[in-house]
Chain A
Amino acid sequence: MSILVNKDTKVIVQGFTGKEGSFHAEQCIDYGTNIVGGVTPNKGGQEHLGKPVFNTVKEAVENTGATVSMIFVPPAFVADAVMEAADAGIELAVIITEGAPVRDMMFAKQYATKHNMKTIGPNCPGIITAEECKIGIMPGMIFKKGNVGLISKSGTLTYEGANQVVKEGFGITTAVGIGGDPIIGLSYKQILPMFEADPETEAIVMIGEIGGDLEIQAAKLIKEQITKPVVAFIAGQTAPKGKRMGHAGAIISGSAGTAAEKMAALEEAGVKVVVSPAEIGKAVAEVLAKK
């Protein structure tokens, strides 16, 4: 078992024939991801990486039965691509592109939600179910199959965390990089309960960052709903206080979004919080030994 995606998941790629899209789609195919085609307007009917290319997502879905889309289109076209996917009945869009305007994502996310389409990202490494399905840009070889679920705002810390878990002799069920943009798709709040419900996942690694209050919300949820052990690291304890112009950001959430605040909230929720990412692996070994 795993969450969200597995070896049977049919995936299309939006921005399939572009440089980034091609490079990473090929890596995903090599990993074993069931990529059934891609979308590039005006290239419909062609074949790329041995898979059919379609002009529209609708066509791609009708012809392949794809349920997941991996989005690599340039930043200015992300919102359009996300809404097209939602309109075509895609169930999950994984948005890799970095630099999509926040206002665009505001509208795209609303539209996705209205069409019951889940999103991951933007500006994220994607999602990987170890040894089954990689939808994103992470180095596949470090994700060995195992019993630890991983969720992270940061791309490279996802790799660091997964690598340590594997070096300790464990492995990963599914790892999700949710991205750190102001508006993102699935977050801790949705994904932690999925790991809780997944019979193969026995422990969860949660990696956060300074800013915003998603980790504070996650702490509340963990306290109420999560029985599996959680190991957490919050990056940015030593980050300098930003030279800010206004004050409004911190007031809405009622939290300054500091690492200390988030770490305290998670500890209070019974999470094993580590102060350095170098301790993630050991902490996982520890919580799993206690079980």
Chain B
Amino acid sequence: MNIHEYQAKQIFAKYGVPTPKGKIAHTVEEAVENAKELGGPIWVVKAQIHAGGRGLGGGVKLAKSLDEVKELADEILGMTLVTHQTGPEGKLVQKVYIEDGADIQDELYLSVVLDRAAEMPIIMASTEGGMDIETVAEKTPEKIIKVQVDPSIGFQGFHGRELVFGLGITDKVQQKNMINFAKKLYTLYMENDAEMIEINPLIRTGEGEFIALDGKMGFDDSALGRHPEIEAMRDLSEEDPDEREAAQYGLSYIALDGEIGCMVNGAGLAMGTMDTINYMGGTPANFLDVGGSANAETVAKGFEIILKNPNVKAIFVNIFGGIVRCDRIANGILEATKLVDVHVPVIVRLDGTNAPEAAEILKNANIENVIPATDLADGAAKAVKAAKGEL
């Protein structure tokens, strides 16, 4: 789960990680009110969406008067912000964060993520803040400092020294400031079951203080149960409504732009099915994993969600039953055709546990647009043909 910048900064503040003062606003009036309270004389008006690259997309702007705050809040609230992380459709801005302007001497980068290979958190830092860090990693990898922190010992002095010497910080007070900053960030990463924290830019002020000017945080979904205060930060408007509806039924759904709807058990086989459709000259309309506990209701829901997409010309049901029994899925498909108007051809491949029984059920039901397939290749080929109207 991801949260907004202003929420990340609330968590930072709780741990004593320095951030500029700011207040969240949902309306232009509120934005101006916030700006007045903060006092100025310079404010930053920042679009709050779950994506990076907001500045380049025009979602972060500087105001030098209350009139400008009003103007900019009016401009940014309600705009559809397109950045390299939102996809071409962009994201609607519903909240702006009004923040005190900061005295920026230079911009750095700091993040904490899991190093999967080392199986421990890693702190990454760079003097090249404010830039796209992937570009920095590609062009000047030597400018990224990486410090692994073994959780069994936690953040030690030597981790801090590696960091500050790597960043070329020579002033002793600044060294101490940066070490404290990083140590607090590591602590809040661990204590909150974060998946990643990224601060870009982290600024150095004229006085040599370090301040988190931005903040992105993502959390381990599996651990949210023990962090109700973080779960409460979930912004449902940032999530796709179809994906969310699917999730309520234990289905994992992602819309794509092709023509063949897919309903598959298991994420790997679901991706493999999409790859096979693509390989055979078709285009997948979605990723849909029905999970291990598929029944008539979830299958019906799956059809309903797939068919909401007007581009869908055929559906490929590809189930390899392990725990999921194929006869149950077959009954689910029959049930679904009664509950939902399935107006496109449905190619059905059921293999594994109780597959012969399932085939019998579908054969006896004899529904016109339900077409059985013998295996993955046969099913994908038939789905591609059906989508082209050739079956």
Distance, CA A291 to CA B112, complexed state (A): 48
Query: Bound complex: CA of A216 vs CA of B196, how far in Å?
Result: 23
Q: In the complex, what residues of A have CB within 8 A of residue B272's CB?
A: 154, 157, 160, 233, 235, 276-277
Task: Report yes or no: A156 in contact with B320, Cβ–Cβ below 8 A.
Answer: yes
Known: A102-B195, A139-B352, A277-B376. A107 touches B152 (CB 8 A): yes
Q: Which of A197-205, A243-251, A265-273 contacts B (4 or more CB under 8 A)?
A: A243-251
CB pair A210–B271 under 8 Å, yes or no, is yes
| Contact A278-B377, Cβ < 8 Å, known A236-B275, A246-B218, A252-B124 | yes
* Smallest beta-carbon distance B254→chain A, Å: 7
Q: Pick the residue among B50, B112, B275, B323 that contacts A245 (CB under 8 A).
A: B50
Q: Are B193 and A138 in contact (CB under 8 A)?
A: no
The one of A142, A163, A238, A278 in contact with B284, judged by C-beta atoms closer than 8 angstroms, is A238
With A252-B113, A278-B276 known as contacts, the answer to whether A138 contacts B322 (CB < 8 A) is yes
State whether the Cβ of B247 lies closer than 8 Å to any Cβ in chain A.
no
The reply to whether the CB of A212 lies closer than 8 angstroms to some CB of chain B is yes
- Inter-chain CA distance A137–B324, complex, in Å, is 11
Q: How many residues of chain B get a CB closer than 8 Å to chain A's CBs?
A: 69
Chain B residues lying within 8 Å of A121, measured Cβ to Cβ, are: none
Cβ A103 vs Cβ B223 within 8 A: yes
Q: Say yes or no: A248 contacts B124, CB within 8 Å.
A: yes
Chain B residue at minimum C-beta to C-beta distance from A162: B320
Q: Is B129 an interface residue (CB 8 A)?
A: no
A279 to B380, CA, bound (A): 12
Measured CA separation A249–B195 after assembly (Å): 10
A264 contacts the other chain (CB 8 A): no
User: Is A80's beta carbon under 8 Å from chain B?
Assistant: no
Bound CA span A217–B256, Å: 30
* Interface: B115 (CB within 8 A): yes
Bound together, the chains give a CA A246 to CA B124 distance in angstroms of 13
| Chain A residues with CB under 8 A of B277 | 238
Minimum CB distance partner of A210 in chain B: B271
Is there a chain A Cβ closer than 8 Å to B99's Cβ?
no
Q: Are A238's CB and B124's CB within 8 A?
A: no
Q: Kindly state the separation between the CA atoms of A233 and B276 in the bound complex, as whole angstroms.
A: 11
B194 → A minimal CB distance (Å)? 9
Rounded to whole angstroms, the CA-CA distance of A194 and B274 in the bound complex is 32
B59 CB within 8 Å of chain A:
no
How many Å from the CB of A41 to the closest CB on chain B?
21
Q: Closest approach, in angstroms, between the C-beta of A71 and any C-beta of chain B?
A: 15
A106 at interface, CB cutoff 8 A: yes
A interface bracket (residues with beta carbon within 8 Å of B): 35 or more
Contact (A155, B275) CB under 8 Å given A163-B351, A239-B287, A246-B218: no
Interchain nearest-CB distance for B159 vs A (Å)? 16
Q: Which residue of A lies closest to B135 (CB)?
A: A247
Q: Mark B315-339, 1 if CB is under 8 A from A, else 0.
A: 0000011110000000000000000
| Complex Cα spacing A75 to B111, Å | 28
A110 to B198, CA, bound (A): 26
Question: Which A residues are CB-close (under 8 A) to B120?
Answer: 106
In Å, the complex CA distance between A252 and B112 comes to 11
Q: Which residues of B contact A160 (CB under 8 A)?
A: 269, 272, 320, 351, 376
**Interface assignment of B51: CB less than 8 Å from any CB of chain A:** yes
B225, CB-defined interface residue at 8 Å: yes
Residue from B122, B132, B151, B353 in contact with A107 in the complex, judged by beta carbons closer than 8 Å: B151
B274 touches A102 (CB 8 A): no
Asked if B268 and A207 make an inter-chain contact with CB atoms under 8 angstroms apart, the answer reads: yes
200-248 of chain A: CB within 8 A of chain B: 207, 209-210, 212-213, 217, 233, 235-240, 243-248
Q: Which of A156, A213, A250 contacts B269 (CB 8 A)?
A: A156
Chain A residue, CB-CB nearest to B198: A246
A-chain residues with CB within 8 Å of residue B298 when the two chains form the complex: none
Contact B275 A157 (CB under 8 A): no
Q: Is the CB of A101 within 8 A of B124?
A: no
**Do residues B116 and A182 form an inter-chain contact, with CB atoms below 8 A?**
yes
| Contacts A152-B268, A163-B320 given; does A245 touch B85 at CB 8 Å | yes
For residue B19, CB closer than 8 A to chain A, the reply is no
Report if B52 contacts A (CB, 8 A).
yes
Q: When the two chains form the complex, which single residue of A106, A154, A253 contacts B119, counting CB atoms closer than 8 Å?
A: A106
Q: Please, how many angstroms separate the alpha-carbon atoms of A182 and B122 in the complex?
A: 14
Q: Which residues does chain A contribute within 8 Å of B353, judged by CB atoms?
A: 139, 141
In the complex, the chain B residue whose C-beta lies closest to that of A138 is B322
The yes or no answer to A262 lying at the interface (CB within 8 A) is no
Rounded to whole Å, the gap between the CB of B374 and the closest CB of chain A is: 10
A21 within 8 A of B: no
Contact A102 B50 (CB under 8 A): no
Closest A-chain residue to B133, C-beta based?
A247
Q: Least Cβ distance of A173 to chain B in Å?
A: 20
Tell me, yes or no, whether B267 is within 8 Å of chain A by CB: yes
Contact partners of B254 in chain A: CB under 8 A: 240
Interface residues of A in 92-147 (CB under 8 A from B): 99-104, 106-107, 109-110, 125, 137-139, 141-142
Instruction: Taking A154-B269, A238-B256 as given, write out 15 further A-B residue pairs in contact, using a Cβ cutoff of 8 Å, ordered by the A residue number.
Output: A75-B222, A101-B220, A107-B152, A154-B267, A163-B351, A183-B114, A207-B268, A238-B275, A243-B87, A247-B52, A248-B196, A251-B144, A253-B117, A275-B275, A275-B279
Q: Which 7 A-B pairs have the closest CB atoms?
A: A154-B268, A156-B266, A101-B223, A156-B269, A278-B377, A235-B271, A246-B198
Which residues of A are in contact with B by a Cβ distance under 8 Å?
A: 75-76, 99-104, 106-107, 109-110, 125, 137-139, 141-142, 152-157, 159-160, 163, 180, 182-183, 207, 209-210, 212-213, 217, 233, 235-240, 243-254, 259, 275-279
What are 20 A-B residue pairs whose CB atoms fall within 8 Å in the complex? A100-B222, A102-B193, A102-B195, A103-B193, A139-B321, A141-B353, A154-B268, A155-B268, A156-B269, A163-B352, A180-B267, A217-B117, A235-B271, A235-B272, A236-B275, A247-B133, A248-B111, A252-B115, A252-B124, A279-B377
